[in-house]
Structure 1
């Protein structure tokens, strides 16, 4: 989770803008595909329109989630509201599953009873516009993700990446139906769209569930935290390091060894300086540091008791 030195406020500003773009794009595509489907009857276009409709709902959920996630801690949520982003991603995954099921059912029915596509030019034009707008949105989301670690935007981008592939396939299916005169190709394209959506939903679900289950940060980022903490030779042996992501925030806690001869004031200064080094790299971090006297610490108990003192 590399935030590239962004604060929670800066990260929030980026995610707010890109989620507004996402909602606007989905709304435009739903209106366009609905109008063209009514005059063409393409089942592949219907599949794409249904997916765009669920995209709009999912994007609205993400739009509000990223705003709620940066709300400051309150009396009932002392660790903030960052996991609202992960819940929004789970909602996206559920909507994608539903979209795939509806599309698959419609496509199978059309395979059994195929029908010709009317106003093919409009249908093809709608898919081309859809591909262009979705591509622009994915590019914008990619730029935001290179600067933030928003799991909600990541899930939204994965969703729209699957949409981009599905739009291309739907376009190919419509074009093949028009050129070859076989209505079943349109329905076959819709089935491929459904399969792609299912695959994308699994990826979104895994990423969101990892954050909800408090999965550790990647090993390279944990190593970076340890390196920053131990840059001062008076502070050694970082152990029981625990990290988790919560929307735009990172929570970390750890035990460190200090020279037992240090005064309380000197020990405090060492710890504060170490905390500032970590915050410079992780501006949105919430850090808890427990100091142990080097060589004299007792094993730590509790629900997550220390199993091996050498753990980093």
Structure 2
């Protein structure tokens, strides 16, 4: 993962801007085709693209806010704006899912022929090409930045690749094969797919906003690094969280009660430097305690031999 904050911020902004551009283009194209064909599957795709555009705009604003430096009122920074943007995306996707399911059920009970099926297929092919390019770029940005907001945005655009294939199948079966119910069926499948992705996006956003603890494997890495320092006899009260690109790690280290303040401080400094190698974006709060003053989570005796 890239460590240069300015480069990561630039990539995140570029990914969000690319998402807005693609979303606007697809929404405009699908609106024209839906007006001409009346396809509920194309309407489903249009609704999804329109809400994707809104979500992309929210993501762009969220990323810009998250990258703002700490200020007087937000001394920990604005990183959680990413989580808020992702949560908003999840809410928008849930609304889209409900609307599409409603329209699809109505079409199943009242199947209608689809006119000008060729235009629907053409715009779906174009949508697949544009969306694939966007998703590949977003995946590259995510690999370099670890951005939750870009990842959430990419998740539903990845879904759009499958959704547009469903659009093509629905229009082809209705317009060319005369299977009128196919349009409604594929519209319903799209609605279910969007709803499922909305749950995934919202869950990750809530985890960030609620300061969910890092996973056990990451905590174990922290324990091992801290206890790898010869002057540290134990560690307790480890607390971790992640907000946007920043990680926050705090804990107490136990040192020899007879150690001088200088040597204890040096041990804490060395521990922080070692942790920074593995967690370059983290902020650390380390309290120094004399050994035996607390109930350590781990001691040097518990390290694997």
Gaps of 5+ in 2: 300-305
Could you tell me which residue of structure 1 aligns to residue 266 of structure 2?
269
The partner residue of 1:119 within 116, 119, 135 is: 116
Partners of 1:242 and 1:98 lie apart in 2 by 36
CA RMSD of aligned residues (A): 1.7
Partners of 1:226 and 1:67 lie apart in 2 by 34
Contact kept? 2:213, 2:241, Cα under 8 Å = yes
Say whether residues 1:91 and 2:78 are aligned partners: no
Partners of 1:310 and 1:190 lie apart in 2 by 52
| Higher-RCO chain (CA-CA 8 Å, sequence separation at least 6) | 1
Partners of 1:10 and 1:260 lie apart in 2 by 45
Partners of 1:18 and 1:221 lie apart in 2 by 28
The partner residue of 2:46 within 44, 49, 54 is: 49
Say whether residues 1:191 and 2:191 are aligned partners: no
Larger deviation: 118-127 or 32-41? 32-41
The partner residue of 1:258 within 255, 261, 265 is: 255
Q: Which runs of 4+ in 1 moved over 6 A?
A: none
Partners of 1:50 and 1:310 lie apart in 2 by 51
Contact kept? 1:177, 1:185, Cα under 8 Å = yes
Q: How far is 1:55 from its partner?
A: 0.2
Contact kept? 1:256, 1:289, Cα under 8 Å = yes
The partner residue of 2:165 within 163, 168, 179 is: 168
Contact kept? 1:240, 1:311, Cα under 8 Å = no
Could you tell me which residue of structure 2 aligns to residue 148 of structure 1?
145
Could you tell me which residue of structure 1 aligns to residue 286 of structure 2?
289
Partners of 2:139 and 2:35 lie apart in 1 by 33
Q: How far is 1:40 from its partner?
A: 1.7
Q: Secondary structure at the match of 2:233?
A: strand
CA separation of 1:193 and 1:178: change in aligned 2, threshold 3 A: same
Gaps of 5+ in 1: 300-307
CA separation of 1:10 and 1:282: change in aligned 2, threshold 3 A: farther
Q: Secondary structure at the match of 1:82?
A: coil
Q: How far is 1:310 from its partner?
A: 3.0
How high is the TM-score relative to the length of structure 2?
0.92
Could you tell me which residue of structure 2 aligns to residue 310 of structure 1?
297
Partners of 1:119 and 1:145 lie apart in 2 by 39
Q: Secondary structure at the match of 1:166?
A: helix
